[in-house]
Amino acid sequence: MRIRHALATACLGTALTLGVTTHPATAAPAKPIGDKIAEQALSQYISTNAEVKKRKYEGAANGVNAKNNCNFYTGFWTDPRNRRFDGTSAPRTGTNRATCGTSKGYMYVNGTKTWTPVKWKSRAWCSDFAKYTWYWGGAKVTGINSSAGSFYSYGRTNHTWHSRADVAKKGGYVPKKGDVVSYDWDRNGVIDHVGVLTAYSTKYKAYFSVEGNSSEKLNYKNTKQSAVSPYVVGYTSPKKL
């Protein structure tokens, strides 16, 4: 399939003391990056923090879904104060001509992680959300932008792209938590949506996901979704920083 972009993250030693050999405590194994990303994605949906809860709906950050593309995640990436400012701009006015909201979130400002007001911006934001979870999960995000298709390009560049056909074949790729699934709803060769996997079942070849701008809100899809659905183009795995 020809893909086009859609507009729309101890040294082990021995110490000898008075003839007694001691060993340092064994550090807990590092959590896989995919687990960290999945936790980030879920936390955006299930958090009880008043400011984070506002992010679930588009609009004025008041808990009412205005369905106008105004969202926190685009505001995060387009804020010039942000250490990871993406260099783009987006309007402060939603598709319904209402002013986008403002809510607080963490951002590195002048080298310091700061809980600060973030002005929401309006654009298709599924990729902005997925990129956000990868960033805070510790993945490399270079090359990812607001286009859903940028995850496909990232996967090809970093050799972490896995097509639906590869998942479907015996002994093929097994999707993992933290992977980003790419969709082509119209099946016309254009990737027009992405989501972040939070769980995967090898038995059912099915996954759960959290997806931004899904039904015009942040959506937790916690019913079995087929990993080889004809609408799925493939999966991109994250690279560590």
**Residue 8, domain member (yes or no):** no
Identify whether 19 is part of a domain: no
Give the residue ranges of the chain where pLDDT is below 50: 1-22
- Contact residues for 88 (Cβ-Cβ < 8 A; gap 6+): 77, 78, 145, 146
State the residue for tokens 């990232």: 154
Q: Is the pTM of this model over 0.85?
A: yes
Under 8 Å between Cβ of 39 and 162: no
> Does residue 47 sit within a domain?
yes
Dihedrals phi, psi of 89, to nearest 5 degrees: -130, 160
Evaluated on CA atoms 138, 141, 147, 150, the torsion sign reads negative
Asked whether residue 174 is domain-assigned, the answer is: yes
The total of structural domains in the chain comes to: 1
Residue 29 has a pLDDT of 79
Does residue 20 lie in a domain region?
A: no
Cα separation of 150 and 180, whole Å?
11
- Segments forming the whole domain that contains residue 225: 32-236
| Assigned domain for 146 exists | yes
Query: Is residue 102 in a domain?
Result: yes
pLDDT at 26 (0 to 100):
62
Residue 227 CA to residue 137 CA, distance in Å, equals 23
For residue 27, being part of any structural domain is answered with: no
CB 76 within 8 A of CB 23: no
pLDDT tens per residue across span 125-164: 999 999 999 999 999 999 999 999 999 999 999 999 999 9
For residue 9, give the nearest of 117, 148, 151, 118 by alpha carbon.
151
Residue pair 76/82 in contact (Cβ under 8 Å)? The answer is: yes
Taking the C-alpha atoms of residue 79 and residue 118, their distance in angstroms, rounded to an integer, is 8
